[in-house]
């Protein structure tokens, strides 16, 4: 039997030399650690300080405007845009033959002393507050409508009591151009009943509605949103002459008004004396006026509120003696 040869063990040689390091890359060492920390602190502080301004800028440029509801809006649910589950049925108009000493009762109010004078071309009456809630006139508008014998609508007047809170008797009159008035009706309406208004856009993409009465002109500017024209600016112009019997009281009224509006951000006022009267102009930019200032200073109903639809202003002022037209 042949024996296996023993494998010769190789000798291990140890070389005792100093190891030489090999450079595979260079990492720069920066001495800017404190500077970076300071920069981050400055950015953080600027972010905290500038956040409100940035939010306002984003809101102005990109945020959808606070649009009032299209239909079915109620004081308890101002944000709904849907039709109510049970919309009101069309109101049945009740006609009254105009006669001497007639009285019309409606919703806790009473209309008396009704006179349509074809000579002076005026309509006059007296409204008495009995037990009715005047808050009704915040959400609803009541109109006096005059008809012919055949129930043809001749004229419509908005009962002007929105700005009155606790009244008992209100006497009012307005121009009436018809001599064939035979019937009268009290009709309650809300914004859904108002006809739509079509406006052309100007160079600033605004719709413009001008409403005038005697020497007073109101120009309303609207932004278009979802086929609706929403109020964002009002310009009031008035030239009043010293030959008017009530000149002193009117001048005092507008002197007081201009003084109160001068402090409101977003409102520009000019009251200029003329040789034969005075000129008044007020410009209200609702995009600049705060909500609190609007509720405190812009209380005249004819200013209306931001985002009021053009059809509301046109219909209500048209029933208040103003001539309204798109320009």
Q: Give the neighbor-by-neighbor strand order of the sheet with 141-147.
A: 96-97, 183-189, 141-147, 153-158
Q: Which CATH architecture has domain 194-326?
A: 2-Layer Sandwich (3.30)
Distances from the Cα of 305 to the Cα of 192, 224, 285, angstroms:
17, 16, 11
Distance (Å, whole) CA 158 – CA 194: 13
Distance (Å, whole) CA 77 – CA 214: 39
Does domain 96-190 fall under CATH 1.25.40? My reply is: no
Name the residue ranges covered by the structural domains of the chain. 96-190, 194-326
Distance (Å, whole) CA 8 – CA 13: 16
Distance (Å, whole) CA 24 – CA 46: 43
pLDDT in single tens digits along all 327 residues of the chain? 455 555 555 555 555 555 555 555 554 555 556 677 677 666 767 666 666 555 555 544 444 455 444 333 333 333 333 333 344 455 688 999 988 889 999 888 889 998 888 888 888 888 887 876 666 666 678 899 999 899 999 889 888 765 555 567 777 777 776 678 889 999 988 888 899 999 999 999 999 999 999 899 999 999 999 889 999 999 999 999 999 999 999 999 999 999 999 999 999 999 999 999 999 999 999 999 999 999 999 989 899 999 999 999 999 999 988 999 998
| pTM for this entry | 0.69
Own/partner long-range contacts of 57-61 (Cβ < 8 Å, ≥24 apart): 60/287
């Amino acid at each position: 039997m042949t024996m296996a040869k023993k494998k010769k063990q190789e000798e291990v040689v140890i070389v005792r030399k100093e190891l030489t390091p090999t450079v595979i890359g260079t990492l720069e060492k920066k001495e800017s650690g404190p500077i970076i920390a300071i920069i981050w602190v400055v950015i953080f502080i600027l972010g905290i300080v500038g956040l409100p301004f940035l939010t306002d800028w984003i809101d102005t440029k990109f945020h959808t405007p606070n649009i009032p509801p299209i239909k079915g809006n109620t004081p308890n649910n101002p944000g709904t845009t849907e039709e109510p589950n049970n919309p009101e049925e069309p109101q049945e108009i009740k006609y009254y033959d105009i006669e001497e000493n007639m009285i019309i009762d409606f919703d806790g109010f009473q209309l008396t002393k009704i006179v349509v004078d074809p000579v002076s071309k005026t309509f006059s009456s007296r409204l008495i507050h009995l037990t009715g809630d005047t808050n009704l006139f915040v959400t609803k508008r009541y109109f006096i409508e005059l008809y012919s014998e055949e129930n043809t609508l001749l004229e419509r007047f908005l009962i002007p009591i929105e700005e009155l809170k606790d009244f008992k008797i209100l006497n009012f009159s307005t121009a009436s151009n018809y001599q064939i008035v035979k019937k009268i009706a009290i009709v309650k309406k809300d914004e859904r009943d108002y006809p739509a208004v079509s406006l052309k856009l100007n160079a600033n993409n605004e719709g413009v509605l001008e409403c005038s009465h005697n020497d007073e002109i109101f120009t309303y500017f609207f932004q278009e949103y979802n086929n609706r024209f929403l109020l964002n600016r009002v310009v009031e112009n008035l030239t009043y002459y010293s030959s008017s019997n009530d000149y002193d009281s009117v001048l005092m009224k507008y002197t007081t008004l201009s003084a109160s509006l001068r402090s409101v951000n977003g409102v520009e006022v000019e009251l200029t004396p003329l040789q034969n009267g005075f000129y008044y102009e007020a410009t209200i930019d609702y995009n600049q006026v705060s909500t609190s200032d609007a509720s405190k200073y812009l209380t005249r109903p004819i200013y209306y509120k931001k985002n009021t639809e053009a059809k509301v202003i046109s219909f209500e002022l048209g029933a208040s003696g103003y001539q309204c037209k798109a320009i």
